[in-house]
Structures are given as structure tokens and as C-alpha cells.
Amino acid sequence: MNQLATLDYIVFFVYFLIVSGYGIWIYRRKTGHDGTLEGDSKDYFLAEGSLTWWAIGSSLIASNISAEQFVGMSGSGFKMGLAIATYEWMAALTLIIVAVFFIPVYLKNHIFTMPQFLHQRYNGTVAMIMAIFWLMLYVVVNLTSILYLGAIAISSIAGLNLTFCLYALAVFAVIITLGGMKVIGFTDVIQVFFLILGGLATTYLALDMVADHYGQSGVISGFKLMQDQAADHFQMIFEKDNPNFIDLPGLTVLLGGMWIVNLNYWGCNQYITQRALGADLPTARAGILFAAFLKLLMPVIVVLPGIAAYVLYKQDVFGATEFGEGANLNPDRAYPVLLNILPVGLKGLSFAALTAAVVASLAGKANSIATIFTLDIYKKVLNPEASEKKLVVVGKIAVVVAMILGVLIAPHLGIDKKGGFQYIQEYTGFVSPGIFAMFILGFFWKKTTSNAALFATIGGFLLSIMFKFLPGLVDLSFLAPLGFAVKSEAGVYEIPFLDRMGFVFVICIVVMVIISLFETSRGVKTKGLEVDSSMFKPQPSFTIGAMVIAVILTALYTIYW
């Protein structure tokens, strides 16, 4: 039944009161009544020195997990199975690498925004181009997709009007965001608590439902039955003949483009790195390690329910009414359908978990938009003499404007038709290889020049477009034996998305090296960052935690290869 009972609304209202009340308390306690700290822009945008390791880790996950995971990744679990968990499990390993090699560079060089890094390392032109691009990407792709997918999911569960859900999510997120990064960071701890508790409850009920359908009971029995009834949904590495190979092309998820997706997202993304940039190095690393452990848990919450829904769908427990059939089959319905059959009260808790995920992501994204606009565009170009208090005010206005734009344009982008997870991956994937190439060489190779960075920015984007449309111009069947081309339903050989990213990244690196060597040989000076090997030595406790994660991942991939 697509509506909430009174008890569900009570549970949700309690969640709303806890998050809002805690946010107000944090705001009053951390900013102080005299307003001195409130006027500090770095304190407002970064919560400099205020976030604990557990707040940083929680905020990283809360900002990352949203409707595209709950809805999109559950849908992918329904369609292709556990293999989609590679986005989460490889992210855990990626976070370790970011904590060891990326964060020390940012903190050592006092970098607070990604455009600031580009300005400091390259020049103002590269920084401004990327600042404008990131703003457009965050508003048009990320903010809109989170808003719209979240509104669709909440509307389908609660039976509320879609437009109302869109505006309600935006308002809730703005309330949290206007408190600054301190409020976002600490309220994210509660958001993650609800997210995990509600998510685990949904998974428990889904697995128990599978067991009950086969005359058994308990989640262990349900999990074993799922493995028996959908054995093809418990493979992490696809063979070339798998129909989902084009989405997750075999070993590319371990050795190829998946690294570019994750390292760019977790290491070169204002939206994410901002959580750690206001802390000292040990605290930042501890927070990122905590996030890595939480990442290992995410597929249990977002992928297993999708597989359970698939097993029940195949057994006609769910019919065409819920999922459609044939060409109209919609896997993204998996999570909302499961939530709608939860018992009263528990449905409210899971509804709160989904709302928490959406609101936390919206708040984090809006804060990053405000940070980039205020510190990298407004302060540098529009009003260089702006006071700290003025910058905070401008940041708050930017939050509201960004959310209004998101609400207005989200319904017109066809996000629901593309599938949210694919929508975000496709459009950010056009620029990820070039951006990551520009960052990685900028970090660790002092000879990298500004013109080389410009090539990665613009050339990487153009190369991505070229590879996207190349199958229509050239017969790529010669790549098929190597696993780099797959025959589509139209009979055309296409390069899998992740492989395209790998090719573009390699080309960008090679051309950047050539340009940089040519320019430096002609006397062009570069601005290398302050880097020394001692920065990269982690604490023993971090090393132990990282090793535990590596062992767990090795075991998971060995079992479900």
C-alpha cells in the first residue's frame, strides 16, 4: 500500500525533530552567541578544527549515499546482482589511498577547495574554468538527480505528491545547509545512524521474506536461498558473454576504469574532500578509515534488497503491477516496492533512512556549491575585498539559489528515464579521466605545466565524446577479442563505459607528459606543490585498519569471484 500509517509518520517526525534539534544545538554551541566564529568563512564552509573523526567518516558516507544508491544501486542489484557492489567495495580501498597520498598534499599546502588547488598548482585560468564547470556539474547533474530521484522514491512510498516531495526535500536540506559545515558534519552522524538502521531493517525483512516464501525462516536461510535461486546474481567478475558486461567489463573493475571513477570521486571532488580539509592529518585519516569500513557495509543495505526483490519477482510474489514486464521492466522499482510491504512503524524507520540519505547528500552538495562559488568566484572576481561576514552571507544565498535551480530544472532532464545511477556516472564520466590526470600529475610531478592541465580539462572531455560516438563511425570488432568492445542489441560493437574512461585517462597522461616536457625544455616554469615522503607515513593504528579492510576485500572477491 503506497502510503504511510500514523505510526510511520510518528517515527519519521521523531527523526525530523532529532536531526533538526541537534542541528540547532550544534549551531548555537559551535558558533557561539557572539557571532565571532559565525563570521569566519573557513569555519563556516569547512568547520575548521571542529569535526571529530567519527563526524568526518559519517559525513563522508552520508554525503555519498543517496537516492542513486538506495534506488539506483538496488535496481542494479535486481538487474545484475552483487557485481554492482564493486562501486562500494572498491571505494573502501580507494579511501585508504586517498587518506595516505591525497589528503596530506591538500593539508600540507593549505588547500581548501579544488579550484584553489588548480590555481596554486597551475594558474587562474585553469582554476576558473574548472570552478565554473564544477558548479554547472554539481547543480545540473548531481543536485538535480539527488532531488528528483529522492522525490520519486519518497512519493512512491508515502503516496505524496511528487512536486510536494521535491520542495519538501529542498527546504529540509536548506535548513541544515545554512548552519554551515559544522551542522552538516555533526547532523550527518544522526543521518548515518538512521540510514544504516533503517537500511539493515529493510534488508532483514527482505531476506526473511525470501525464506518465508520457501517455507523457511531467518535471514541466513533467506541469504542461502537467494544464492541458490539466483546464482548468476552472486558473481563479482563478469565474463564477456554476460549481458551486463558492458556495464561492468570483467577485470576492469579491479584493474582499469573503476579506479579512475573512485579516485576522482573520493580524491579530487570538492563535495567529498571538503569533509576532511578542515581537520588535522591524523583526524582526517581516522575519519576516512571509518568511512572505508562503513563502505564495506553499504552493499548489504542497498544491493542485497535488490537481489531479494529479483528472487521474489521471479517467483511471482511481485507482478507486472509493481515492476512492469518485458521492455517496460523497471529494476529501479526494487527498493520502493520492498519498502511498501514493510510492517507499520518499520516502514516509517526505513522511510526516515531514505530521507536521511537524500537530505544529507543534498546538504553536502549545496555546501560545496556555496564554497566554490563564494571562495573561488565571488571572492576572486566579483568582490576581492569582501569581509568574512559578507562571504558567509553570500554562501548562504548561494545555497538557496542552487536549491531553487535544482528544483526548477530537475523535472525536465529525463533523469527517471535514464536511471539515476547511470545518469550520474555517464555525465561525470565525460570529464573524470581528464580531471584525474590533471590532479595526479599536479600532485606528484613538478614538471606538469598549465597548458598540459588545460589539455586534460578540454581535451579529455572531447576525447570522451569521441569515444562515445566512435562505434557509429568505425567498426570496433577488432577490440572484441581483447574484451574492450561488446556487441550491442543494435549489432554495433561498443566500448564499455569504464574502458572508455581508462583509454581517455591514458591518452591524457601521455599527452600531458609530452606537452610538459616540451614546454619545460623551452624554459617554462612550473609551480610544484610542497611534498615530502614523510607526509605519506600513516600512524600504526591506521595501517592496521587498512590491512583489515584489504583482507576483508580479498576474502569477498575470492568467495564471489
User: Is residue 35 scored above 50 in pLDDT?
Assistant: no
Position 547 scores a pLDDT of: 95
User: Is residue 183 scored above 70 in pLDDT?
Assistant: no
Q: State the average pLDDT over residues 23-49.
A: 57
DSSP state of 343: P
- 543 — pLDDT class (breaks 50, 70, 90): very high
Chain length of the chain: 561
Q: What is the pTM of this model?
A: 0.81
Q: What SS3 state is found at 35?
A: coil
Closest to 71 (Cα-Cα) out of 84, 54, 61:
84
Task: Work out the angle at residue 431's Cα, subtended by the Cα atoms of residues 252 and 248, and round it to the nearest 5 degrees.
Answer: 20
Q: State the average pLDDT over residues 142-149.
A: 82
Helices (H), 230-325: 252-255, 257-267, 270-273, 281-302, 304-314, 320-323
User: Is residue 46 scored above 70 in pLDDT?
Assistant: no
Which CATH number, 1.20.1730.10, 3.40.50.300, 1.10.1240.10, 1.10.645.10, labels domain 51-420? 1.20.1730.10
- 31 — pLDDT class (breaks 50, 70, 90): low
User: Is residue 325 scored above 70 in pLDDT?
Assistant: no
Position 296 scores a pLDDT of: 92
**Rounded to the nearest 5°, which phi and psi values hold at 486?**
-130, 140
Report the number of secondary-structure helices (H) and strands (E) in the chain.
Answer: 29, 2
- 186 — pLDDT class (breaks 50, 70, 90): low
Q: Judge contact between 2 and 340, C-beta under 8 A.
A: yes
User: Is residue 528 scored above 80 in pLDDT?
Assistant: no
Position 293 scores a pLDDT of: 92
Q: Judge contact between 245 and 239, C-beta under 8 A.
A: yes
Position 38 scores a pLDDT of: 45
Q: Judge contact between 351 and 14, C-beta under 8 A.
A: no
Position 32 scores a pLDDT of: 53
Closest to 526 (Cα-Cα) out of 130, 121, 105, 129:
121
Which among 92-106, 154-168, 524-538 has the top mean pLDDT? 92-106
Burial of 123 (0-12, 13-18, 19+ CB in 10 A): middle
Position 37 scores a pLDDT of: 40
Percentage of the chain modeled with pLDDT above 90 = 13
Task: Work out the angle at residue 67's Cα, subtended by the Cα atoms of residues 62 and 73, and round it to the nearest 5 degrees.
Answer: 100
From 95-109, 186-200, 275-289, 444-458, the region with the lowest mean pLDDT = 186-200
Closest to 114 (Cα-Cα) out of 362, 388, 368, 396:
368
Q: What SS3 state is found at 50?
A: coil
pLDDT 10s digits, 501-524: 888 999 999 999 999 999 988 888
pLDDT 10s digits, 375-421: 888 888 888 887 878 888 888 888 888 888 888 887 776 655 545 56
Joined together, the cell numbers standing for residue 191 give: 543521518
Between these two residues, 23 and 74, which has the higher pLDDT value?
74
43 Cβ contact list (under 8 Å, min separation 6): 37, 50, 180, 182
Q: State the average pLDDT over residues 439-445.
A: 88
Q: Where are the domains of the chain?
A: 51-420, 430-530
Position 368 scores a pLDDT of: 81
Closest to 301 (Cα-Cα) out of 199, 218, 190:
199
Burial of 456 (0-12, 13-18, 19+ CB in 10 A): buried
47 Cβ contact list (under 8 Å, min separation 6): 30, 180, 181, 182, 184, 185, 278
Position 319 scores a pLDDT of: 64
Position 93 scores a pLDDT of: 93
Q: Judge contact between 329 and 321, C-beta under 8 A.
A: no
Per-position DSSP letters for 359-408, written without gaps between them: HHHHHHHHHHHHHHIIIIIIIIII-TT--HHHHHHHHHHHHHHHHHHHHH
Position 185 scores a pLDDT of: 62
- 358 — pLDDT class (breaks 50, 70, 90): confident
- Compute CA distances 164 → 68, 122, 297, 515, whole Å: 20, 45, 32, 52
CA atoms within 13 A on the CB side of 59: 34
Position 513 scores a pLDDT of: 95
**Taking all residues of the chain, what is their mean pLDDT, rounded to a whole number?**
81
Position 33 scores a pLDDT of: 43
Between these two residues, 153 and 36, which has the higher pLDDT value?
153
